[in-house]
Amino acid sequence: MSAHQESSSAAGQRHRHEGPKNHYLSYIVSIILTMLAFAAVIYGDLNRAFLLWFLVILALAQVIFQLAYWMHMKDRGHTYPILFLAMGFVTALTAVAAAVYWMWW
Amino acid sequence: MSTAHHAAGALPHEPEKATLEGKNKILGFWFFLGGETVLFGTLFATFIALRNQVPEGPTAQELFNLSTVALSTFILLTSSLTSVLATMALHRHKLNALLGWMAVTVLFGLAFLGLEIYEFTEYVSEGHTFTSSAFSTSFYTLVGFHGGHVLFGVIWITLLILQGMKKGLTVVTAPKFYVAGLYWHFIDVVWVFIFTVVYLMGKVG
């Protein structure tokens, strides 16, 4: 009985979960993007506006990777989670834009 | 494979989504994370608006030590990987691996907290206290709120490990582990924005 359970669940996983490869990949991508961001600030001799946007883009890229793989958002049945987080993000971005507009202009 | 821990017969492949209650817990948790996004968004908005308001006390450029921040970032990023390995063990019904990876995640979380406490005491000794400027207040509120989330996660996951040792892996306990993993990843996602917006952009000026 237990041998049957093991073999059936092992066979089931093979086509349901792709294994840890993507998670390790996502970790390596996150490390690389993080190191790139730190290096750009510490060693980079870049134009200030360009550097700020570069940092934002690196952060967004890393977050998208983590949401997709580590939080399984790329998997099926994640329409509502994507909707919830996107609404939260739009509201958060509105708050940031409003605060920046009021304080800096 | 620890079939002895299975409650009744074989567990389904994704035990956290096997019951309607489990599915609803996960959906509800995503709704909560949407709210958390707004919460941190407003704290970020306040910080970004006030980050250059430093009438007295050190500025961000004078204050921040990027090597400490890089170490914290590395610790939290690695803890996010170990918590996804815990979720993978959950899907493979390996209770011991699940609890082990959860425990490693907690240890990384504690290391992160220790480093943050050290960092904050350094800042206070350099004159960067909660009330010294609008920059310092919004800094401690944002970064401290994140640290509070890490502390909550450490306590929550520790209790889950204890419950998992007692009750094993069932369709009732599986959603709890899965949701705790989501929470921990979310903490790491928030940290990505913190090290970018607060520390790196603070250094840039």
- Residue A73 pLDDT more than 90? no
Output B81 or A104, whichever has higher pLDDT.
B81
**Interface with A, mutate which of B40, B196, B198 (most A CBs under 10 A):** B196
**Matching residue, tokens 């993978």:** B88
Distances (CA, A) of B101 to A44, A100, B51, B156: 37, 41, 38, 15
- Residue A75 pLDDT more than 90? no
Is-contact B44 B190, C-beta < 8 A?
A: no
**Interface with A, mutate which of B189, B191, B197, B203 (most A CBs under 10 A):** B189
Chain A residues close to B3, C-beta within 8 Å: 2, 5-6
Decide if B3 is inside a domain: no
**Matching residue, tokens 């990876």:** B101
- Residue B161 pLDDT more than 80? yes
What is the average per-residue pLDDT within B143-172?
Answer: 96
Decide if B6 is inside a domain: no
Taking an 8 Å cut-off on Cβ atoms, the answer to whether B41 and A102 are in contact is no
- Residue B147 pLDDT more than 50? yes
Q: Would you state the torsion angle of the CA atoms of residues A62, A64, A70, A74, taken in this order, to the nearest 10 degrees?
A: -150
Is-contact B90 B174, C-beta < 8 A?
A: yes
pLDDT at B19: 92
Residues written for chain B: 205
Interface pTM (ipTM) of the complex? Answer: 0.87
Taking an 8 Å cut-off on Cβ atoms, the answer to whether B91 and A41 are in contact is no
Task: Indicate which CATH number applies to the domain containing B162.
Answer: 1.20.120.80
Number of domains comprising chain B: 1
Q: Give the amino acid at A33.
A: L
Structural domain including B93 reads 14-204
Taking an 8 Å cut-off on Cβ atoms, the answer to whether A66 and B182 are in contact is no
Q: Which candidate, B44, B58, B36, places its Cα nearest to that of B141?
A: B44
Is-contact B150 B187, C-beta < 8 A?
A: yes
Sign of CA dihedral B128, B78, B155, B111: negative
CA end-to-end distance (rounded Å), chain B? 54
Neighbours of A7 (CB within 10 A): 11
pLDDT at B106: 98
Chain B residues close to A69, C-beta within 8 Å: 84
Decide if B8 is inside a domain: no
Using one digit for the tens of pLDDT, what is the confidence trace for B87-141? 999 999 999 999 999 999 999 999 999 999 999 999 999 999 999 999 999 999 9
pLDDT at A3: 42
Chain B residues close to A12, C-beta within 8 Å: 13
Q: Which of A37, A93, A99 sits opposite B196 (nearest CB)?
A: A37
pLDDT at B38: 96
Q: Which of A38, A59, A100 sits opposite B193 (nearest CB)?
A: A59
Taking an 8 Å cut-off on Cβ atoms, the answer to whether A103 and B49 are in contact is yes
Residues 6 or more apart whose CB falls under 8 angstroms from that of A34 comprise A58, A62, B70, B73, B74, B77, B192, B195
Residue of A nearest to B66 (CA): A38
Task: Look at A12-16, B13-17, B30-34 and tell me which has the smallest mean pLDDT.
Answer: A12-16
Neighbours of B3 (CB within 10 A): 15
Taking an 8 Å cut-off on Cβ atoms, the answer to whether A38 and B66 are in contact is yes
Q: Which of B73, B81, B204 sits opposite A23 (nearest CB)?
A: B81
Q: What CA–CA distance (Å, rounded) separates A79 from A75?
A: 10
Residues 6 or more apart whose CB falls under 8 angstroms from that of B155 comprise none
